[in-house]
Amino acid sequence: MKIADARVIVTCPGRNFVTLKITTESGLTGVGDATLNGRELAVASYLTDHVCGLLIGRDASRINDIWQYLYKGAYWRRGPVTMSAIAAVDTALWDIKGKAAGMPVYQLLGGKARAGVMVYGHANGATVDDAVAEVGRYLDAGYKAVRVQCGVPGLEHVYGVSDDRDFYEPATAGVAPEEAVWASEKYLDFAPGLFAAVREAHGFGFHLLHDAHHRLTPIEAARLGKAAEPYRLFWLEDPISEELQEGFRTIRQHTTTPIAVGEVYNSIWDCQQLITEQLIDYIRTTVVHAGGITHLRRIFDLAALYHVRTGSHGATDLSPVCMAAALHLDISVPNFGIQEYMRHTPETDEVFPHSYRFEDGMLLPGDEPGLGVDIDEELAARYPYRQAYLPVNRLEDGTVHDW
Ligand code: KDG
Ligand code: MG
């Protein structure tokens, strides 16, 4: 099972994706997602210039050894670029291992622990009425869990709210990020009313989620969590910036609203304190940004010891390759909570043919050997990379703020 080739494919079928493809001497291929939103080419270069050459001739079956070799051998540890690059190698090697074994990857991870993977969709609207109607659309489509985001009176652009209902994409093309103005006071006065309106219209028979996008201070987040209690949120996501781990204690002291965090974390060390001190309820680390299936499994195992459940990031910038890998892990771990699922555009789905499917509020991984996902390289070549970035937020006085 020697590795004969490792190549990076950058494509933009509506948005940018970076994919690593590994081929063995016997002709088995595996794919791994290496997309880092707004910094795609940094990971592409890390892989092409520093990693692909190291893989040639190595035994593709030695996943743990290759992981340690790339992580410890680089000297410079952690960080989104390094961990996304290692994730891509790791994911591709699991894909190959599955194909070599003639089994779907979830079988190699211990088999199914549940029938399917519950996912949440993204409902958003410029006004409360729009957002409430959008939640209804998701419920009609069979979703059992819906995240709701809404425009805030007095703010022109609010991250997470878009005119495009079906294929929402937060990054915008251009050489620099768009800038928007943010005011936490306006949001805090408004958000509980949004949850009330959703529950009044659609009842309590489904899971309701909300993302605060790191924008609050700990005491503001505590206030929002407390105000949201009557509407029984499944989770309040990213209430404060993810660097401030101690800040989560303040939130915990004041509210029983469950807290989810971790989409920007890259390693088990980033979330160790939050997990072991039980300051969060859901860990949102994901395959592509947290070192692949191998490392994410370690995070999920640590979380299980402390009754923290999984809730992996799954926005459009995580390619179908990442989603397929996430589903194999989600379906097999004992402490699965929920999986984010933002549908990709038809162009993206065509470039990445995959066998996972949506059924009755759940995603089901494919049953063929490996991950059940591939990249159509000919088609991918028709969509060259385009510079695009997530927006930057400023407070009303001009200070740059978390988005
Ligand atoms: O790349 C960052 C995006 O994926 C961001 O919009 C994700 O907050 C996010 C979410 O919860 O999906
Ligand atoms: Mg988020």
Looking at residues 86-115, what average pLDDT do you find?
98
| Ligand 1 pocket residue status of 170, Cβ below 6 Å | yes
C-alpha of residue 323 to centroid of ligand 1, in Å: 14
Kindly report, residue by residue over 212-270, the tens digit of the pLDDT. 999 999 999 999 999 999 999 999 999 999 888 999 999 999 999 999 999 999 999 99
| Ligand 1 pocket residue status of 124, Cβ below 6 Å | no
| Ligand 1 pocket residue status of 264, Cβ below 6 Å | no
Kindly report, residue by residue over 145-201, the tens digit of the pLDDT. 999 999 999 999 898 888 777 777 889 999 999 999 999 999 999 999 999 999 999
H-run or E-run covering 83: helix 80-101
Atom of ligand 1 nearest to the CA of 159: 6
257 burial via Cβ count (<10 Å: 0-12, 13-18, 19+): buried
Q: Could you give the CA distance from residue 151 to residue 389 in angstroms, rounded to a whole number? A: 21
Kindly report, residue by residue over 284-334, the tens digit of the pLDDT. 999 999 999 999 999 999 999 999 999 999 999 999 999 999 999 999 999
Average pLDDT for the chain: 96
Quote the pLDDT of residue 31.
99
Q: Would you say residue 403 has pLDDT above 70? A: no
Q: Examine the residue annotation and report whether 46 is marked as an active-site residue of this protein.
A: no
**Side chain identity at 111, as an amino acid letter?**
G
Quote the pLDDT of residue 168.
77
CB 33 within 8 A of CB 88: yes
Q: pTM of the prediction?
A: 0.97
Q: CA–CA distance from 342 to each of 147, 235, 394 (Å)?
A: 11, 17, 26
Backbone phi, psi, residue 5, to 5°? -155, 145
Q: Examine the residue annotation and report whether 122 is marked as an active-site residue of this protein.
A: no
For strands 179-182 and 172-173, give the pairing. unpaired
